[in-house]
Amino acid sequence: MSFGQRIVSWGIWAALGIGLVLSTGGAMAQSAQDGIHLGVTTCAGSTCHGRVERFANSPIAQNEYLIWSQKDPHAKAFKALESERGKRIAQNLGLPSAQSAELCLGCHTDNAPAAKRSRQFQLADGVGCETCHGAAEKWLGIHVAGSPHNENVAAGMYPTDQPVARAKLCLSCHMGDNSKYPTHQLMGAGHPRIPFELDTFTAIQPAHYNVNADYVRRKGQPNGVQIWAIGQAVALGNMMNGLLDAKRNRDGAIPDFVFFECQSCHHPMTQPRWEARASTGLGPGQILFNDANALMLRIAAQRVAPNLAQQLFDRTVALHQGMNDSRQKVLEEAAKLRDISNQLVQAFAERRFNAEDIRALMDGVIDAGVNRNDFTAYGGAEQASMALSAILSTMRNLGQIDDGKFKTAQAALNKVYAAVEKDDAFKPSTFVAALKDFQAAMPK
């Protein structure tokens, strides 16, 4: 199953808040921003990435620009700032215009420094080619000349094919980094939640490449479950960086509310939350740290590094308790969790997840929901849905499941997604029931 054939429907994710005021793409690591940004028109020619049909013997489809411009929400990220919602958010924040505010431009466009923009470059292009692939000045010449991928990367192209590098790039906006980050104030002003999972979002972007024999020869065979696991580890590490960054914390013991599970406060009072998760160590009435990535990471770590999985669990519980205890405790536990996350990034990068691993991870996600009651909070259930999507897709790619059984499993997984379609209507019992149906639909 290719990235472009992923089962996730855009309608479901639009309902989850994606595609409204997107916080996508964004500026990458500074080393990848060196050089002049030439603009998307440099890549859009009919002899490059703007063709409808590829040249004979071309190793790429050559329609990458068309996919980006016509189907990819990244291309519309700047235009989202012009929408009524974008204008309202700017007004609520006291900004003259979202289209000129650094707070917005950092993620809604390729916000290269003015001195590094060519005459063809336009902020209005949104999150374009160089936002993700790096300033083209230094590598465009050899790229056009047909140099192999590793030489392009050596010249400055950002290695988006490498899962760790891709995770760091994508999460620099989809979660934020120390130079730009979403806050509870931004959400309160009207910005939608920013849920993210690396493998699923690559699929629904949609990815503008095909994993064929030539791709594998040039860049290696991607493994969706490895990409998922690395994405979870980098995400948790990013969150811990945020907690440790004094600019992103309040003066008191409690950090910015953006680090907490939204629905632990924002849920109708007519829907009592009886399903408090004992593993948090928290009693009723306490706000819940958003541990969705930690939950997923624990499942992956149990397969790859059980000792780190136990440390991850212990430190996550300690962080939950610290959030309602003292700022110093939060900082201590955040530093420990960041170290564990970094270790797991390395462990996952070295692991080629095989069929046995992938099946075990699927069972682990289901078990966490059905037997451990881990997905009582909306964020965890949302991440579990995307995890199962990544796992099922990889099983299809590896030939672990035939077309008929895949369709059956796909239909069951759509019910899992339906259970998290609306955050304000989320019911843990409905989600667990959908998980059980998915489990029954999977071949033994």
What is the SS3 assignment for 279-339? HHCCCCCCCCECCHHHHHHHHHHHHHCHHHHHHHHHHHHHHHHHHCCCHHHHHHHHHHHHH
Are residues 236 and 152 part of one domain?
A: no
With a cut of 80, say whether residue 238 has pLDDT above it.
Answer: yes
In a domain, 211, yes or no: no
Tokens coding 154: 């050596």
Is 175 part of any domain?
no
Q: 254 pLDDT band (50/70/90 cuts)?
A: confident
Give the pLDDT of residue 282. Answer: 81
Residue 24 reports pLDDT greater than 50: no
Query: Is the domain of 154 the same as that of 237?
Result: no
My answer on whether 301 and 376 are in the same domain is yes
**Predicted confidence band at 273 (pLDDT cuts at 50, 70, 90)?**
low
- Asked if residue 262 and residue 145 are part of one domain, the reply reads no
Lowest-confidence pick of 156-170, 207-221, 384-398, 404-418:
207-221
Average pLDDT over residues 158-185: 94
Of residues 435 and 270, the one with the higher pLDDT is 435
Which pLDDT value is given to residue 18? 39
Q: What pLDDT is recorded for position 213? A: 87
- Are 234 and 141 contained in the same domain? no
Q: Is the pLDDT of residue 19 over 50?
A: no
C-alpha to C-alpha distance for 285 and 279, rounded to whole angstroms: 15
Asked whether the beta carbons of 418 and 8 are under 8 A apart, the reply is no
Q: Is residue 36 part of a domain?
A: yes
Does residue 26 lie in a domain region? yes
Q: 250 and 368, same structural domain?
A: yes
37 confidence band (pLDDT: 50, 70, 90): very high
Residues 247 and 361 in one domain: yes
Based on the fold, state whether residues 402 and 261 are members of the same structural domain.
yes
The residue from 143, 158, 173 where one domain ends is 158
Compute the mean pLDDT over every residue in the chain, rounded to the nearest whole number.
89
Domain boundary among 102, 137, 158: 158
More confident residue, 111 or 58: 111
Host domain of residue 315: 225-441
The answer on pLDDT for 30 being more than 70 is no
Q: Return the pLDDT at 59.
A: 84
Q: What is the pLDDT of residues 92-111, one digit of tens each?
A: 999 999 999 999 999 999 99
Distance CA 133, CA 17 (A): 26
Determine contact, residues 410/392, Cβ cutoff 8 Å: yes
Per the structure, how many domains does the chain have?
2
Q: Is the pLDDT of residue 3 over 90?
A: no
Is 6 domain-assigned?
no
Last residue of one domain, picked from the residues 128, 158, 188:
158
Rounded to the nearest 10°, the torsion over CA 45, 47, 49, 55 is 150
List CB contacts of 211: < 8 A, sequence separation 6 or more: 2, 3, 221, 222
